[in-house]
């Protein structure tokens, strides 16, 4: 099973899990350093986002419309 499938299955499971199961899952994962950061405090990430924004505004990066992105995501979910 791929990591992507595992992530999706865990996400779906957590979405509908009752409180008792959520607390059990949290108890297992809480000690693990999940490296959750405040991205806006990460200078490298902020610079990358600024560069991407600049590329979009200048037309260097054409990007995709929301409709195209949404369609792509829905197709991925169906697999």
Whether the predicted model's global pTM rises above the 0.85 cut: no
For the chain, the residue count is: 79
Per-residue pLDDT tens over the stretch 14-66? 999 999 999 999 898 888 766 667 888 889 989 999 999 999 899 999 888 88
Give the pLDDT of residue 75: 87
Do residues 56 and 63 touch, judged by C-beta distance below 8 A? yes
For residue 30, what are its two tokens?
Answer: 């809480």
For residue 27, what are its two tokens?
Answer: 């108890």
Give the pLDDT of residue 8: 92
Give the whole-angstrom CA distance, residue 44 versus residue 40.
9
Give the pLDDT of residue 36: 65
Give the whole-angstrom CA distance, residue 19 versus residue 70.
31
What's the farthest any 2 CA atoms get from each other in the chain? 51
Give the pLDDT of residue 34: 65
């Amino acid at each position: 099973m791929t990591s992507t499938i595992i992530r999706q299955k865990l996400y779906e499971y957590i979405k509908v899990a009752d409180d008792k199961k959520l607390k059990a899952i949290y108890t297992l994962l809480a000690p693990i350093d999940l490296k959750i950061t405040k991205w806006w405090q990460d200078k490298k990430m902020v610079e990358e986002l600024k560069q991407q924004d600049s590329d979009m505004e200048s037309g260097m990066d054409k990007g995709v419309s929301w409709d195209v992105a949404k369609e792509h995501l829905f197709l991925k979910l169906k697999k």
